[in-house]
Amino acid sequence: MAQFFHYVQDAPWYFHFLKPVLQILEPLPNHAKVLDVGTGAGKLIELGKSQTSFHWEGADTDNEMLVQAQRRPSLQDVPLHSLSPDKLSFENASFNAVTFCSVLFLIPNPLPLLEETARILRPNGRLVALTPTGEGHITPEVISQIGLHPRNWTFLLWRQMTSGNGRAWAQKGTLAEFAHQKNATYNKQIVFNGLAAVEWIQF
């Protein structure tokens, strides 16, 4: 399964899915520390290292996923951490940003993990979450954007497998409520032609 997710992350469409996260991180200072939680096969970090001057680290509860991430040549010098559920084993105020790509909407109760995230973020730190919406349509514009490639069949599978949980996450408004409780700033953008949403909290 880990090898399959590596295969999916390397499909051309997945770059377009992840791109909004890197755009939200752009205002961070040079050499900011960024932790990607649920990094899987490490595609976000690979893209981030090629486009930013940030210091990246990855973390996942699945050690087989971390093995796949370690196989990327550009991640050989990236710290990759094995996690326990709901626990981020880092010191307080360790990172400028923490990212979650297709992670939080799969967790029945993400609040303990969100509290941990707030703890390890530095002042003015940023939590960024990318989630499928379960909405939008696969239009000719979408096909033109992602291009024609043999691996892009996984885009249709992703759409089918994530739609229900994506819609449920959007209805809950979990991150907006968490930001309100923390007296932090919440933002949301619909991206990827309506197929995904990127949310971020500025603490």
Q: What is the pTM of this model?
A: 0.94
- For range 114-131, the mean pLDDT: 97
Q: Name the pLDDT band for 93 (thresholds 50, 70, 90).
A: very high
Helices (H), the chain: 2-9, 12-25, 43-51, 63-70, 111-120, 140-146, 153-172, 174-181
- For range 39-50, the mean pLDDT: 96
- 199: CB partners within 8 A, 6+ apart: 128, 129, 131, 175, 176, 186, 187, 188
pLDDT on residue 144 = 74
Tokens of 77: 């010098």
Q: Classify strands 33-37 and 55-60 as parallel, antiparallel or unpaired.
A: parallel
Q: Name the pLDDT band for 95 (thresholds 50, 70, 90).
A: very high
Task: Please give the mean pLDDT across all residues of the chain.
Answer: 93
Say whether pLDDT at 63 is over 80.
yes
- For range 186-193, the mean pLDDT: 95
